């Protein structure tokens, strides 16, 4: 388990009247976490300080099938009752959030247990936040860092990007590496793709900023994220294909769910936002483009990372990430995402409307050129 809580207050020196004037208070809550093949066994002990007597399960259909029996077994003999179990839907939409918020069994619970990947956990976090309930996260896949973040991606009912929500982070993550190792490998793969964005995005968007302690800590953690992906990613994928909860699987899961999650929370503050930039602007924009096929969040983001490096003309880093993408099957061209250079102007236009662009604008023409350049270099790589 690990707890990091940062609380700080800023105030001026004594005024001429000898009084103190409290200017501001900021508290950041960072999720505790338990990991291992028997992580769920800790649920009753972890829940005790919160006075939890009733919980509701919310998650994806496959996630609940994989993890609910194990969670229920861990609760046997405890004082915790499960009021119900609900599939969240397909996307993390306001429609699904509203439906669950209005559900009696959800209202009755003291806490929400969220099971699944990004969309399921984002939905569960938003539901818990709207009802002011404690939430525990049970990531059954590590396709992104949603399990431990205080941010949620909300979609329109048609699947296009709507907005970011800012719920409270989960009080605790239960990372069962056996469950994660037995999940479909494509989610593990996509999680690597999403995590590849954290270090370059945070590093670039925070460059030249006068970093606060919180911001600097977030940036420092972000700078630790990429290396474990390069070191353990390929072995981890092989082990997931063989349903083996290995050291490589554990290291990748912790890198994605904990390190990336902590970095996200610390770089996403009310007075600054360093959490994402070009790669996620690219992703968010492409959700509005109708095309054949289904593409995972991290799959798309991983190409957005190449766009970022092309934008800044960082050839060495571009090549390193591009070659890694190719080795593990992540995209290096637009075509692998059902897109083409004909879509570039629409992608750029959409990117200008994203939270990433509003927080730190970038040059639209350079962004378009970076997309084209990344695609062209990817085609050249695939021809070798």
Which of 334, 324, 193, 166 lies closest to 255, judged by CA? 193
Over residues 29-44, the mean pLDDT reads 96
Supply the pLDDT for residue 191. Answer: 97
Supply the pLDDT for residue 18. Answer: 35
Give 4's pLDDT tier (boundaries 50, 70, 90): very low
At residue 312, φ and ψ (nearest 5 deg) are -95, 5
Supply the pLDDT for residue 1. Answer: 37
Binding-site entries for glycerol: 194, 280, 297
Instruction: Report the alpha-carbon distance of residue 183 to residue 109 in Å, rounded.
Output: 28
Q: Is the pLDDT of residue 229 over 70?
A: yes
The DSSP result for 355-375, as a single string, is: HHHHHS---HHHHHHHHHHHH
Sign of the torsion angle spanned by Cα atoms 357, 360, 361, 367: negative
Instruction: Report the alpha-carbon distance of residue 151 to residue 280 in Å, rounded.
Output: 14
Q: Is the pLDDT of residue 12 over 50?
A: no
Give 17's pLDDT tier (boundaries 50, 70, 90): very low
Supply the pLDDT for residue 257. Answer: 97
Residues β-bridged to residue 137? 114, 173
Q: Which residue has the tokens 């054949």?
A: 292
Supply the pLDDT for residue 355. Answer: 82
Q: Burial, 339: exposed, middle or buried (Cβ in 10 Å; 0-12, 13-18, 19+)?
A: buried
Binding-site entries: 118-122, 140-143, 149, 155, 194, 280, 297
Give 367's pLDDT tier (boundaries 50, 70, 90): very high
- Enter the pTM of the model: 0.90
pLDDT tens profile 241-294: 999 999 999 999 999 999 999 999 999 998 899 999 999 999 999 999 999 999
Over residues 324-352, the mean pLDDT reads 97
Going from the N-terminus, what domains does the chain have, and what CATH number goes with each?
29-185 (3.40.50.1970), 277-384 (1.20.1090.10)
Over residues 295-306, the mean pLDDT reads 97
How many other C-beta atoms are found inside a 10 Å radius of the C-beta of residue 149?
A: 28
Which of 131, 44, 40, 38 lies closest to 80, judged by CA? 44
pLDDT tens profile 160-202: 999 999 999 999 999 999 999 999 999 999 999 999 999 999 9
Give 19's pLDDT tier (boundaries 50, 70, 90): very low
Binding-site entries for NAD(+): 118-122, 140-143, 149, 155
Q: Is the pLDDT of residue 77 over 50?
A: yes
Supply the pLDDT for residue 359. Answer: 85
Supply the pLDDT for residue 354. Answer: 86
Q: Is 124:236 a contact under the CB 8 Å cutoff?
A: no
- Please give the mean pLDDT across all residues of the chain: 93
Over residues 321-335, the mean pLDDT reads 99
Q: Is the pLDDT of residue 20 over 50?
A: no
Q: Is the pLDDT of residue 2 over 80?
A: no
């Amino acid at each position: 388990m690990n707890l990091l809580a940062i609380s700080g207050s800023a105030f001026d020196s004594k005024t001429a009247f000898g009084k103190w004037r409290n200017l501001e208070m900021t508290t950041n809550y960072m999720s505790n976490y338990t990991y291992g093949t028997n992580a769920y066994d800790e649920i009753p002990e972890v829940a005790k300080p919160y006075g939890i007597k009733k919980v509701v399960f919310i998650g994806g259909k496959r996630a609940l099938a994989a993890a609910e029996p194990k969670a229920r077994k861990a609760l046997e003999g405890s004082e915790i009752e499960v009021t119900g179990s609900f599939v969240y839907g397909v996307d993390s939409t306001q429609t699904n959030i509203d439906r669950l918020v209005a559900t009696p069994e959800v209202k009755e619970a003291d806490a929400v247990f969220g099971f699944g990947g990004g969309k399921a956990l984002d939905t569960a976090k938003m539901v818990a936040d709207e009802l002011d309930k404690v939430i525990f996260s049970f990531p059954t896949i590590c396709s992104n860092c949603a399990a431990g973040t205080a941010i949620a991606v909300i979609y329109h009912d048609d699947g296009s990007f709507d907005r970011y929500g800012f719920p409270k982070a989960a009080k605790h993550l239960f990372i069962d590496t056996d469950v994660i190792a037995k999940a479909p490998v494509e989610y593990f793969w996509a999680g690597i793709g999403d995590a590849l964005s954290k270090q370059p995005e945070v590093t670039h968007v925070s460059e030249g900023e006068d970093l606060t302690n919180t911001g600097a800590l977030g940036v420092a953690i972000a700078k630790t994220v990429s290396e474990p992906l390069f070191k353990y990613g390929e072995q981890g994928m092989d082990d997931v294909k063989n349903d083996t909860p290995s050291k490589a699987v554990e290291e990748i899961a912790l890198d994605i769910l904990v390190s990336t999650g902590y970095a996200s929370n610390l770089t996403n503050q009310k007075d600054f936002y360093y959490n994402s930039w070009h790669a996620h602007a690219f992703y968010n924009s492409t959700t509005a483009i109708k095309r054949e096929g289904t593409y995972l969040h991290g799959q798309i983001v991983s190409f957005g990372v190449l766009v970022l490096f092309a934008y800044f003309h960082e050839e060495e880093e571009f090549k390193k990430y591009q070659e890694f993408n190719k080795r593990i099957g992540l995209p290096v061209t637009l075509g692998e995402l059902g897109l083409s250079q004909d879509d570039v102007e629409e992608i750029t236009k959409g990117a200008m409307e994203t939270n990433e662009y509003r927080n730190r604008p970038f040059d639209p023409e350079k962004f378009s050129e970076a997309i084209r350049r990344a695609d062209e270099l990817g085609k050249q790589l695939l021809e070798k």
